[in-house]
Amino acid sequence: MNTLNSKIPDGSIENKWTRYKSTVRLVNPSNKRRIEVLVIGSGLAGASAAASLAELGYNVKCFCFQDSPRRAHSIAAQGGINAAKNYSNDGDSVYRLFYDTVKGGDFRSREANVYRLAEVSANIIDQCVAQGVPFAREYGGLLDNRSFGGVQVSRTFYARGQTGQQLLLGAYSALSRQIAKGQVKMYNRHEMQELVIVDGKASGIITRNLVTGELERFSGHSVVLATGGYGNVFYLSTNAMGSNTTAIWKAYRKGAFFANPCYTQIHPTCIPVSGDYQSKLTLMSESLRNDGRVWVPKAQHDKRKPREIPDQERDYYLERKYPAYGNLVPRDVASRAAKQVCDEGRGVGPSGLAVYLDFRDAIQRLGRHVISERYGNLFEMYEKITGEDPYQTPMRIYPAVHYTMGGLWVDYNLMTTIPGLYALGECNFSDHGANRLGASALMQGLADGYFIIPYTIGAYLADDIRVQVTPTDHPAFQEAENSVRGRIDKLMNVKGSQPVEELHKKLGKILWEYCGMARNEQGLNKALAEIKLLKEEFWKEVKIPGGTNEFNPELDKAGRVADFIELGELMVLDALHRKESCGCHFREESQTAEGEAKRDDNTFSYVAAWEFKGDGSEPALNKEALEFEVVHLAQRSYK
Amino acid sequence: MSETINLKLKVWRQKNTSAKGRFEIYDMPGVSTHMSFLEMMDVLNDKLIRGGQEPVAFDHDCREGICGMCSMFINGRAHGPLRGTTACQLHMRHFQDGETITIEPWRANAFPVIRDLVVDRSAFDKIIQAGGFVSVNTGNAPDANSIPVEKHKAEESFDAAACIGCGACVASCKNSSAMLFLSAKVSQLALLPQGDPERKVRVLKMVQAHDEAGFGSCTNIGACEAKCPKNISIAHIARLNKEYLRASLARD
């Protein structure tokens, strides 16, 4: 049933990437000068790719919708980045990182890609240190590590609770250096609106200048998408307000397959929702589970203050249910467990939709100063938002949408099903299966950008050394620009009565209710019907103030939400078709006696890659069979 | 404390860079004290849109104090009344019932207004492009533990590197100087062995880019430090001055 060619190189898993690198076709330096690459997005994957490709001599244009490439949402990652350095001498290895990632992803990722990721992980740390990233260090001057969920070693490198910021600023500095050299031309406040395809190949993009509203055409030999995840489809998520699906959605509509759209990660430790006005949710790093203990009262509806509840009346439910991993079980497991205790009526806080994350014991054991050194900025952030001091009273946390494992289908080269179109970082599907482990997103973004695309893109571009880029007056550009303009005019002309945010909130509620932490057939069918109605409502009711040819954030949002609605439909379809539970995708019909996710390997051991078949038609399902040559498939156990 | 407060907002409105701006006053009754400042702005914008008016444009993205996008001058202070807090993390519990809140964009020649509260901060990118990096290509790096770094230096370097590039320092400075921003990057790299080989040329080029971008000179007032949402210390400006002097003397 393998209809998709993942182009995994031959050889044993340890040798695939080494062999690939030494046999892949190259583009010689003088020819690189003639090649134009468009990189969309300037987060970890985009900035590292743009900088590294420019260092090799390619001419790069890089685009971001923010006012500076330094603001991409990678900046908000807190806890850390994994690498198989084994600096902690605790038995880590490339194989173990690979195995933990495949297992953490509940055996729904592609082995060869994950192994390569683990292999290059060590180089990432070297690269970042050389750039001047100030990682945490021991007194002897060497790098410090900590633990994250789903593993039994300490392999996570960190820079206080701001690891993403420091890594992104490292990549941004490398990008800035290439901008200064003229090797990268940077376009801030530009959003990709359409992909241009000529002779079946990705050949350019149409962007909207978000300051002037002007549509612009850019031509390239190759287009690299590094546009992040689509968690904002749920409206409330830990993503930045601007994070969106538009670039990959346009690519999907032009023929790139969308893989596993329903795999969305609900992160267990976020600050709970406080009211209807809520615009986003704030993550409290998973690293807190190193020292914080998660509990709820044993009794239902216990309204006492947390400090008034004695130990014997508390249920440290993660430690009770999963003694081997305790508070450090993977995210999907921790999130579902929190939902369970809240569903039982044991949730805390005004809404009853929260559990405690308590540092009392850690503060007694290690002292306040140690806790402050490890998590000081996170504690401050919590206090700013809630007005409560977590040194005195336990944090209240609840799961929230955080990351999307699904994304554009890519082969081993990170190329989508459209020749010349690549997808890097969170916007592809490749490495995390049905659940991502903590501190692996930063690793993947930088692996893709620094160490993988610089090799794999050459294999494609080697054929293009004599080819000029498509002139931007080519009919394909004209047509693409016309379609973008047509859609913008259509949006502006609806002149309905509902602001974009209201419609977006409605979409989010449907998806959170029926396609969130737990899913079932009846609910998903209901969601499908409701999203169809919402789509009609959107195109009748959306109200966008202002004009087209000016700075108009409401128009920007409207375009994104229109795409989110279509994506939401695809997510639900995917969730509906996958009748098994795996990782973050929990189908209530498929669970073990203990309520854990129950996979069905005989039927569903594949990547579901959806193919756009036109508006109003069902997308077609393509399958990439997942073959496990190294890892033995097993029911995950963290007990 | 009451759960809701009534406010008046006095907001700077400006159609585009060349248009003349003015203040508009808006009534905001029943603001929940649990809201963030930007969520209050969302509520205002929702009302404006429904009423057929144009919403207030403001920059924002992560809403958790790290991307550096939000940039509001609130009651005469960058990011509002709290120390070490960005506007997106400021909550309404810090305001009084009946208060009038004045909201303006960053004001500096180097940061032209794009619309309402949105300004163009690309001058910051230019400063970094002038030298705020270590010239190391991908793939050349030695093992990360081959060069030990004293813990206290790594920590101090981190303190500088925590800058989010929001521009509050410039907006708070009567000279519109970007010295705090600039010194944070110079200091971060000067404290690490990795930054050492380019130490001299870096500081000279970055200072030059700073001056060319139209930022003013530093006269050691300290308003930048007081309003920095990441509490970046002006001690970094002292280090910058030392670095600059050292580089200037050693140049010939």
CATH number of the domain that residue A530 is part of: 1.20.58.100
Q: Per the domain annotation, does A20 fall within a domain? A: no
CA distance linking residue B80 with residue B100, whole number of Å: 13
Token reading at B146 = 């081959």
| Average pLDDT value for residue range A281-306 | 94
Question: What confidence score (pLDDT) does residue B252 get?
Answer: 54
| Residue A273, number of CB atoms within 10 A of its CB | 14
CA distances from A598 to A26, A103, A589 (A): 45, 14, 9
Question: What confidence score (pLDDT) does residue B2 get?
Answer: 64
Asked whether the CA dihedral A239, A240, A241, A242 is positive or negative, the reply is negative
Question: What confidence score (pLDDT) does residue A376 get?
Answer: 85
How many domains does one find in chain A? Answer: 2
- d(CA A371, nearest CA chain B) in Å: 16
Q: Could you say which of A401, A425, A443 is where a domain stops?
A: A401
Q: Per the domain annotation, does A378 fall within a domain? A: yes
Task: Find out whether A585 and A578 touch, Cβ atoms under 8 Å.
Answer: yes
Question: What confidence score (pLDDT) does residue A595 get?
Answer: 86
Q: Could you say which of A382, A401, A420 is where a domain stops?
A: A401
**Which of A174, A275, A554 lies nearest to residue B32, judging by beta carbons?**
A275
**Which of A70, A127, A283 lies nearest to residue B138, judging by beta carbons?**
A127
Q: Per the domain annotation, does A567 fall within a domain? A: yes
CA distances from A243 to A319, A427, A486, A563, B125 (A): 35, 11, 24, 12, 21
- d(CA A239, nearest CA chain B) in Å: 7
Same domain for A394 and A501, yes or no, is: no
pLDDT tens track for A396-453: 999 999 999 999 999 999 999 999 999 999 999 999 999 999 999 999 999 999 999 9
pLDDT-derived band at A60, boundaries 50, 70, 90? very high
Question: What confidence score (pLDDT) does residue B87 get?
Answer: 97
Rounded to the nearest 5 degrees, what angle is found at the Cα of B44, between the Cα atoms of B39 and B50? 125
Residue in A70, A146, A155, A331 annotated catalytic: A331
CATH code assigned at A288: 3.90.700.10
Range list of β-strands (E), A511-596: 542-543
> Given an 8 Å threshold on Cβ–Cβ distance, is B138 in contact with A451?
yes
Residue A353, φ and ψ in degrees, nearest 5: -110, 65
Containing structural domain, residue A526: 475-598
Residue B36 carries which DSSP code? B
Q: Per the domain annotation, does A121 fall within a domain? A: no
* Chain A, nearest residue to B117 by Cα: A551
Q: Per the domain annotation, does A444 fall within a domain? A: no
| Residue A84, number of CB atoms within 10 A of its CB | 23
Q: Which domains does chain B have, with CATH numbers?
A: 4-114 (3.10.20.30), 122-250 (1.10.1060.10)
The answer to whether residue A466 is catalytic is no
- ipTM over cut 0.90: yes
CA distances from A494 to A497, A498, A543, B47 (A): 9, 10, 7, 19
pLDDT tens track for A450-494: 999 999 999 999 998 889 999 999 999 999 999 999 999 999 999
Q: Per the domain annotation, does A462 fall within a domain? A: no
Give chain A's mean pLDDT.
Answer: 96
Task: Find out whether A165 and B118 touch, Cβ atoms under 8 Å.
Answer: no
Each residue of A183-204: b (16+ CB within 10 Å) or e? bbbbbbbbbbbbbbbbeebbbb
The model carries a pTM of 0.97
Range list of β-strands (E), A336-438: 355-358, 395-404, 407-408, 421-423
Residue A620 contacts by C-beta under 8 Å, 6 or more apart in sequence?
Answer: A610, A611, A613
Displacement of CA A357 from its chain's centroid (Å): 25
Q: Per the domain annotation, does A210 fall within a domain? A: no
Taking CB atoms within 8 Å and a gap of at least 24, the contacts of A308-315 are: A315/A341, A315/A346
Of B109, B130, B137, B136, nearest to B121 by C-alpha is B109
Question: Which run of H or of E encompasses A484?
Answer: helix A475-494
Q: Per the domain annotation, does A558 fall within a domain? A: yes
- d(CA A79, nearest CA chain B) in Å: 14
pLDDT-derived band at A118, boundaries 50, 70, 90? very high
Task: Find out whether A257 and A622 touch, Cβ atoms under 8 Å.
Answer: yes
pLDDT tens track for A494-545: 999 999 999 999 999 999 999 999 999 999 999 999 999 999 999 999 999 9
Same domain for A389 and A485, yes or no, is: no
Residue A600, φ and ψ in degrees, nearest 5: -130, 85
Rounded to the nearest 5 degrees, what angle is found at the Cα of A389, between the Cα atoms of A388 and A393? 90
Residue A563 carries which DSSP code? H
Same domain for A278 and A372, yes or no, is: yes
Question: What confidence score (pLDDT) does residue A161 get?
Answer: 84
**Which of A73, A274, A550 lies nearest to residue B34, judging by beta carbons?**
A274
- With a cut of 80, say whether residue A2 has pLDDT above it: no
